[in-house]
């Protein structure tokens, strides 16, 4: 996930994820995602409509940028397809840059928002994995994420904070401090938390690319299927005052 290893994917910021979702994708994984999407669609129908054509911005690193995946198979286009399949006519814009730390995400936050052309209805903040992989001080990561959340709150933009967990080989003190960061930030900022972006994928080699870090297409299907209900709920929630 580091910039040294993966290169600068800044151009991904300019691409809107309007790519189509391939029907029948991934066999059983695709069927599981379709079933989950159908369940979300029912929940949306019962709870009432989301505002028309919402805009979701995924602000993150290589996990949202779609590193190592064929066109249309990354998190952003797959989430957009899943939302539309669930009856939410959302556009999901790619704000993922491979290698970015929380500090780098903070540095490009304002011009990234300007580049969207309008205020997003929801920002998914998925940052911090590269801080952890580089062993950066947890306090530094927390301060940068807190600044991102504070700026989005100031602009009355709804947020879904996607958490990350530290690699267990970094030592108990670092793991404990890093893992506690996301729940603490969510409470402090008053935003919903999706506890672990790679839930259901981490530690499962069949769902991970050869680099041992990034989800393969089947893994992305699991990520999207699990986070989808939280995204729908966040879109329906009122933005922070």
| Residues with catalytic function | 62, 211, 214
Cα gap 138→146, rounded to integer Å: 12
Cα gap 94→89, rounded to integer Å: 16
Cα gap 136→174, rounded to integer Å: 10
Cα gap 139→241, rounded to integer Å: 27
What's the Cα-to-Cα distance from 19 to each of 43, 92, 129, rounded to whole Å?
A: 25, 10, 26
3-state secondary structure of 1: coil
């Amino acid at each position: 996930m580091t910039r040294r290893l993966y290169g600068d994917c800044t151009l991904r910021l300019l691409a809107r994820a309007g790519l189509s979702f391939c029907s029948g994708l991934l066999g059983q994984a695709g069927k599981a995602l379709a079933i989950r999407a159908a369940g979300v669609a029912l929940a949306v129908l019962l709870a009432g409509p989301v505002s028309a054509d919402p805009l979701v911005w995924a602000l993150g690193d290589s996990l949202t940028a779609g590193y190592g995946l064929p066109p249309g198979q990354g998190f952003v286009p797959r989430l957009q397809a899943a939302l539309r399949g669930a009856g939410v006519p959302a556009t999901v814009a790619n704000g993922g840059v491979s290698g970015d730390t929380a500090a780098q995400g903070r540095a490009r936050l304002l011009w990234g928002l300007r580049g969207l052309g309008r205020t997003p209805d929801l920002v998914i903040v998925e940052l911090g994995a590269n801080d952890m992989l580089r062993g950066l001080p947890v306090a530094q990561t927390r301060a940068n994420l807190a600044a991102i959340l504070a700026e989005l709150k100031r602009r009355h933009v709804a947020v879904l904070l996607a958490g990350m967990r530290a690699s267990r080989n970094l030592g108990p003190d670092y793991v404990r401090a890093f893992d506690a960061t996301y729940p603490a930030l969510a409470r402090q900022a008053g935003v919903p938390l999706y506890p672990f972006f790679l839930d259901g994928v981490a530690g499962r080699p069949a769902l991970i690319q050869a680099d041992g870090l990034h989800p393969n297409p089947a893994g992305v299907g699991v990520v999207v299927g699990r986070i989808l209900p939280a995204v729908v709920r966040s879109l329906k929630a009122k933005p922070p005052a």
